[in-house]
Protein backbone atom coordinates (compact mmCIF):
# COMPACT_ATOMS: atom_id res chain seq x y z
CA UNK A 1 0.00 0.00 0.00
CA UNK A 2 1.15 3.53 -0.69
CA UNK A 3 0.74 4.95 2.78
CA UNK A 4 3.09 7.93 2.46
CA UNK A 5 3.77 7.48 6.15
CA UNK A 6 6.34 9.15 8.35
CA UNK A 7 9.25 7.21 9.80
CA UNK A 8 8.49 5.44 13.10
CA UNK A 9 8.75 7.64 16.16
CA UNK A 10 9.47 4.84 18.64
CA UNK A 11 10.04 1.11 18.94
CA UNK A 12 6.59 0.30 17.64
CA UNK A 13 3.76 -1.47 19.40
CA UNK A 14 3.05 -5.20 19.37
CA UNK A 15 1.36 -6.84 16.41
CA UNK A 16 -1.11 -9.61 17.20
CA UNK A 17 -1.92 -11.93 14.28
CA UNK A 18 -4.91 -14.11 15.23
CA UNK A 19 -5.73 -17.19 13.17
CA UNK A 20 -9.48 -16.60 13.37
CA UNK A 21 -12.27 -18.25 15.37
CA UNK A 22 -10.72 -17.00 18.61
CA UNK A 23 -12.53 -17.81 21.84
CA UNK A 24 -15.11 -15.06 22.42
CA UNK A 25 -17.25 -16.75 25.06
CA UNK A 26 -15.15 -18.47 27.72
CA UNK A 27 -11.64 -17.49 28.84
CA UNK A 28 -11.11 -15.12 25.88
CA UNK A 29 -7.36 -15.48 26.37
CA UNK A 30 -6.32 -13.83 23.09
CA UNK A 31 -8.78 -10.94 23.26
CA UNK A 32 -7.92 -10.46 26.93
CA UNK A 33 -4.22 -10.20 26.01
CA UNK A 34 -5.04 -7.60 23.33
CA UNK A 35 -6.86 -5.43 25.88
CA UNK A 36 -3.97 -5.80 28.32
CA UNK A 37 -1.44 -4.74 25.66
CA UNK A 38 -3.65 -1.74 24.87
CA UNK A 39 -3.58 -0.54 28.49
CA UNK A 40 -6.05 -2.72 30.37
CA UNK A 41 -8.55 -0.55 32.24
CA UNK A 42 -7.09 2.47 30.42
CA UNK A 43 -7.37 0.92 26.97
CA UNK A 44 -8.86 3.06 24.21
CA UNK A 45 -9.74 0.66 21.43
CA UNK A 46 -10.75 1.29 17.82
CA UNK A 47 -12.43 -1.60 15.99
CA UNK A 48 -12.35 -1.76 12.18
CA UNK A 49 -14.93 -4.35 10.96
CA UNK A 50 -14.62 -3.32 7.29
CA UNK A 51 -13.74 -6.83 6.09
CA UNK A 52 -16.88 -8.38 7.55
CA UNK A 53 -20.21 -8.76 5.77
CA UNK A 54 -22.06 -8.90 9.11
CA UNK A 55 -23.60 -5.69 10.44
CA UNK A 56 -22.99 -6.49 14.11
CA UNK A 57 -19.31 -7.55 13.95
CA UNK A 58 -17.94 -4.29 15.31
CA UNK A 59 -20.52 -3.98 18.07
CA UNK A 60 -19.92 -7.57 19.13
CA UNK A 61 -16.21 -6.95 19.63
CA UNK A 62 -16.98 -3.66 21.41
CA UNK A 63 -19.15 -5.52 23.93
CA UNK A 64 -16.39 -8.08 24.49
CA UNK A 65 -13.72 -5.45 25.06
CA UNK A 66 -15.98 -3.57 27.47
CA UNK A 67 -16.53 -6.82 29.35
CA UNK A 68 -12.75 -7.17 29.55
CA UNK A 69 -12.59 -3.73 31.25
CA UNK A 70 -11.41 -1.56 28.34
CA UNK A 71 -12.02 2.11 29.08
CA UNK A 72 -13.31 3.16 25.63
CA UNK A 73 -14.26 1.45 22.37
CA UNK A 74 -15.05 3.03 19.00
CA UNK A 75 -16.33 1.12 15.98
CA UNK A 76 -15.19 2.64 12.67
CA UNK A 77 -17.56 1.60 9.90
CA UNK A 78 -15.78 2.22 6.60
CA UNK A 79 -18.00 1.27 3.68
CA UNK A 80 -16.29 3.16 0.84
CA UNK A 81 -12.96 4.68 -0.16
CA UNK A 82 -14.57 8.13 0.02
CA UNK A 83 -15.05 7.65 3.76
CA UNK A 84 -11.46 6.46 4.25
CA UNK A 85 -10.09 9.33 2.12
CA UNK A 86 -11.87 12.09 4.07
CA UNK A 87 -9.10 13.96 5.98
CA UNK A 88 -11.69 15.61 8.25
CA UNK A 89 -13.54 12.44 9.21
CA UNK A 90 -14.42 11.90 12.87
CA UNK A 91 -12.97 8.41 12.53
CA UNK A 92 -9.48 9.91 12.32
CA UNK A 93 -9.95 11.61 15.68
CA UNK A 94 -10.86 8.28 17.26
CA UNK A 95 -7.80 6.67 15.66
CA UNK A 96 -5.51 9.42 16.94
CA UNK A 97 -6.61 8.70 20.52
CA UNK A 98 -6.40 4.91 20.26
CA UNK A 99 -4.02 2.76 22.30
CA UNK A 100 -5.22 -0.39 20.51
CA UNK A 101 -6.58 -1.05 17.02
CA UNK A 102 -8.46 -4.25 16.21
CA UNK A 103 -9.15 -5.36 12.60
CA UNK A 104 -11.83 -8.00 12.17
CA UNK A 105 -12.05 -10.96 9.83
CA UNK A 106 -13.87 -11.24 6.54
CA UNK A 107 -12.44 -10.39 3.11
CA UNK A 108 -8.86 -9.11 3.17
CA UNK A 109 -9.12 -7.68 -0.36
CA UNK A 110 -12.05 -5.55 0.80
CA UNK A 111 -9.77 -4.20 3.53
CA UNK A 112 -6.86 -3.45 1.22
CA UNK A 113 -8.92 -1.92 -1.59
CA UNK A 114 -10.90 0.37 0.72
CA UNK A 115 -8.07 1.41 3.07
CA UNK A 116 -4.92 1.32 0.92
CA UNK A 117 -3.23 4.70 0.51
CA UNK A 118 -5.82 6.58 2.61
CA UNK A 119 -5.38 8.99 5.55
CA UNK A 120 -6.96 6.35 7.77
CA UNK A 121 -4.30 3.79 6.84
CA UNK A 122 -1.56 6.39 7.32
CA UNK A 123 -2.80 7.21 10.84
CA UNK A 124 -2.98 3.50 11.66
CA UNK A 125 0.63 3.04 10.55
CA UNK A 126 1.80 6.05 12.53
CA UNK A 127 -0.06 5.02 15.68
CA UNK A 128 1.52 1.56 15.57
CA UNK A 129 4.96 3.08 15.02
CA UNK A 130 4.41 5.25 18.10
CA UNK A 131 3.52 2.27 20.30
CA UNK A 132 -0.14 1.35 19.83
CA UNK A 133 -0.93 -2.36 19.64
CA UNK A 134 -2.54 -3.52 16.38
CA UNK A 135 -4.36 -6.84 16.21
CA UNK A 136 -6.02 -8.55 13.28
CA UNK A 137 -8.04 -11.73 13.21
CA UNK A 138 -8.39 -13.94 10.12
CA UNK A 139 -8.46 -11.49 7.17
CA UNK A 140 -7.24 -8.77 9.53
CA UNK A 141 -4.20 -10.89 10.39
CA UNK A 142 -3.28 -11.37 6.73
CA UNK A 143 -3.43 -7.59 6.20
CA UNK A 144 -0.80 -6.76 8.83
CA UNK A 145 2.24 -7.75 6.75
CA UNK A 146 3.79 -6.06 3.75
CA UNK A 147 2.93 -9.04 1.52
CA UNK A 148 -0.61 -10.39 1.97
CA UNK A 149 -2.10 -13.68 0.85
CA UNK A 150 -5.22 -12.46 -0.96
CA UNK A 151 -6.64 -15.90 -1.73
CA UNK A 152 -5.59 -19.38 -2.78
CA UNK A 153 -6.27 -23.10 -2.71
CA UNK A 154 -6.03 -25.63 0.10
CA UNK A 155 -3.63 -28.56 0.13
CA UNK A 156 -0.41 -29.77 1.78
CA UNK A 157 1.91 -29.34 -1.24
CA UNK A 158 2.68 -26.24 -3.33
CA UNK A 159 1.50 -26.04 -6.94
CA UNK A 160 1.48 -23.49 -9.74
CA UNK A 161 -1.08 -20.68 -9.29
CA UNK A 162 -1.99 -21.98 -5.84
CA UNK A 163 -1.79 -18.55 -4.19
CA UNK A 164 -2.38 -14.93 -5.12
CA UNK A 165 -0.51 -12.17 -3.27
CA UNK A 166 -1.41 -8.52 -2.81
CA UNK A 167 0.08 -5.60 -0.83
CA UNK A 168 -0.81 -5.48 2.85
CA UNK A 169 -0.46 -2.72 5.43
CA UNK A 170 3.28 -3.21 5.85
CA UNK A 171 3.33 -3.04 9.65
CA UNK A 172 5.92 -5.82 9.49
CA UNK A 173 8.35 -6.55 6.67
CA UNK A 174 9.61 -9.86 8.13
CA UNK A 175 6.71 -12.24 7.65
CA UNK A 176 3.82 -13.37 5.52
CA UNK A 177 0.80 -14.55 7.49
CA UNK A 178 -1.76 -17.24 6.73
CA UNK A 179 -4.74 -17.92 8.98
CA UNK A 180 -7.14 -20.80 9.78
CA UNK A 181 -3.94 -22.65 8.98
CA UNK A 182 -4.22 -26.26 10.08
CA UNK A 183 -8.03 -26.26 9.97
CA UNK A 184 -8.08 -25.34 6.25
CA UNK A 185 -4.96 -27.24 5.18
CA UNK A 186 -2.98 -24.21 3.99
CA UNK A 187 0.65 -25.37 4.17
CA UNK A 188 0.89 -25.68 0.39
CA UNK A 189 -0.17 -22.12 -0.35
CA UNK A 190 2.12 -20.69 2.33
CA UNK A 191 5.05 -22.63 0.84
CA UNK A 192 4.07 -21.34 -2.61
CA UNK A 193 4.06 -17.75 -1.34
CA UNK A 194 7.54 -18.27 0.14
CA UNK A 195 8.82 -19.71 -3.15
CA UNK A 196 7.98 -16.32 -4.66
CA UNK A 197 9.98 -14.51 -1.95
CA UNK A 198 12.21 -16.81 0.15
CA UNK A 199 13.43 -13.86 2.25
CA UNK A 200 10.24 -13.87 4.31
CA UNK A 201 9.26 -16.05 7.26
CA UNK A 202 5.87 -17.72 6.89
CA UNK A 203 3.56 -17.74 9.91
CA UNK A 204 0.69 -20.20 9.62
CA UNK A 205 -1.62 -19.37 12.53
CA UNK A 206 -4.22 -21.90 13.66
CA UNK A 207 -7.70 -20.96 14.79
CA UNK A 208 -7.89 -19.75 18.41
CA UNK A 209 -4.15 -19.08 18.34
CA UNK A 210 -2.20 -15.87 17.99
CA UNK A 211 1.33 -14.87 17.04
CA UNK A 212 2.41 -11.74 18.93
CA UNK A 213 5.34 -9.94 17.28
CA UNK A 214 7.02 -7.59 19.76
CA UNK A 215 9.34 -4.64 19.18
CA UNK A 216 12.39 -6.93 19.43
CA UNK A 217 11.05 -9.07 16.54
CA UNK A 218 10.28 -11.99 18.83
CA UNK A 219 7.14 -13.99 18.04
CA UNK A 220 5.21 -15.24 21.08
CA UNK A 221 2.46 -17.86 20.70
CA UNK A 222 -0.69 -17.74 22.84
CA UNK A 223 -4.13 -19.32 22.70
CA UNK A 224 -5.23 -22.92 22.19
CA UNK A 225 -3.68 -23.63 18.80
CA UNK A 226 -0.25 -23.66 17.20
CA UNK A 227 1.75 -21.44 14.86
CA UNK A 228 3.67 -23.12 12.05
CA UNK A 229 6.82 -21.19 11.14
CA UNK A 230 8.31 -21.76 7.69
CA UNK A 231 11.78 -20.36 6.94
CA UNK A 232 12.68 -20.50 3.24
CA UNK A 233 15.74 -18.22 3.42
CA UNK A 234 18.09 -21.20 2.93
CA UNK A 235 16.07 -22.62 0.04
CA UNK A 236 18.59 -24.33 -2.28
CA UNK A 237 16.32 -24.88 -5.26
CA UNK A 238 12.77 -24.48 -6.52
CA UNK A 239 11.17 -24.81 -9.91
CA UNK A 240 8.42 -22.30 -9.10
CA UNK A 241 9.43 -20.19 -12.10
CA UNK A 242 9.22 -23.10 -14.59
CA UNK A 243 6.10 -25.10 -13.79
CA UNK A 244 2.88 -24.25 -15.63
CA UNK A 245 -0.78 -25.37 -15.79
CA UNK A 246 -1.18 -25.90 -12.04
CA UNK A 247 1.65 -28.44 -11.86
CA UNK A 248 3.36 -29.45 -8.59
CA UNK A 249 6.24 -27.33 -7.31
CA UNK A 250 9.49 -28.64 -5.82
CA UNK A 251 11.38 -26.78 -3.11
CA UNK A 252 14.55 -27.86 -1.24
CA UNK A 253 16.03 -26.66 2.03
CA UNK A 254 12.97 -25.21 3.77
CA UNK A 255 12.97 -25.25 7.60
CA UNK A 256 9.73 -25.79 9.50
CA UNK A 257 9.03 -25.25 13.21
CA UNK A 258 5.69 -25.79 14.94
CA UNK A 259 5.25 -23.58 17.99
CA UNK A 260 2.78 -24.52 20.70
CA UNK A 261 1.47 -21.91 23.16
CA UNK A 262 4.28 -20.37 25.19
CA UNK A 263 6.95 -20.98 22.54
CA UNK A 264 8.87 -18.13 20.94
CA UNK A 265 10.59 -17.48 17.62
CA UNK A 266 13.35 -14.94 16.96
CA UNK A 267 12.84 -13.39 13.52
CA UNK A 268 16.42 -12.05 13.53
CA UNK A 269 18.16 -15.36 14.22
CA UNK A 270 15.43 -17.58 12.69
CA UNK A 271 15.53 -19.77 15.82
CA UNK A 272 12.64 -21.23 17.84
CA UNK A 273 12.68 -21.48 21.63
CA UNK A 274 10.50 -23.70 23.84
CA UNK A 275 8.03 -22.50 26.39
CA UNK A 276 9.86 -21.47 29.54
CA UNK A 277 7.88 -23.99 31.54
CA UNK A 278 9.34 -26.74 29.33
CA UNK A 279 12.95 -25.55 29.45
CA UNK A 280 15.26 -27.90 31.35
CA UNK A 281 12.94 -30.90 31.08
CA UNK A 282 14.52 -34.11 29.73
CA UNK A 283 13.79 -34.97 26.10
Q: Catalogue the active-site residues.
A: 138, 180, 207
222-249 burial by CB neighbour count: b if 16+ within 10 A, else e?
bbbbbbbbbbbeebeebebeebeeeeeb
The candidate with the shortest Cα–Cα distance to 225, out of 21, 16, 32, is 21
Q: To 10 degrees, the CA torsion angle through 20, 258, 220, 174? A: -90
Beta-carbon neighbour count of residue 56 at 10 Å?
A: 12
Angle at the Cα of 165 from the Cα atoms of 159 and 166, rounded to 5 degrees: 170
Sign of CA dihedral 205, 240, 169, 61: negative
Q: What DSSP assignment string belongs to 165-203?
A: EEE---SBSSEEEE-STTTTT-HHHHHHHHHH-TTSEEE
Residue 9: partners with Cβ closer than 8 Å, 6 or more residues away: 126, 129, 130
Sign of CA dihedral 89, 107, 65, 181: negative
Amino acid sequence: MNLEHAEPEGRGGPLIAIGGAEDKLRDRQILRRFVAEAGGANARIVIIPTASQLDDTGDRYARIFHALSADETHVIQIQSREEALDPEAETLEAMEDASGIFISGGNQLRLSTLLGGTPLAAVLFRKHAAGAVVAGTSAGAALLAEHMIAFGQSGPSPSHKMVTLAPGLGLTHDVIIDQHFRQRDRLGRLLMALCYNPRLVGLGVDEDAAAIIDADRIVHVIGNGSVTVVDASQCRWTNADDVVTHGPIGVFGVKLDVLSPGCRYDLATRMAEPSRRMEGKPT
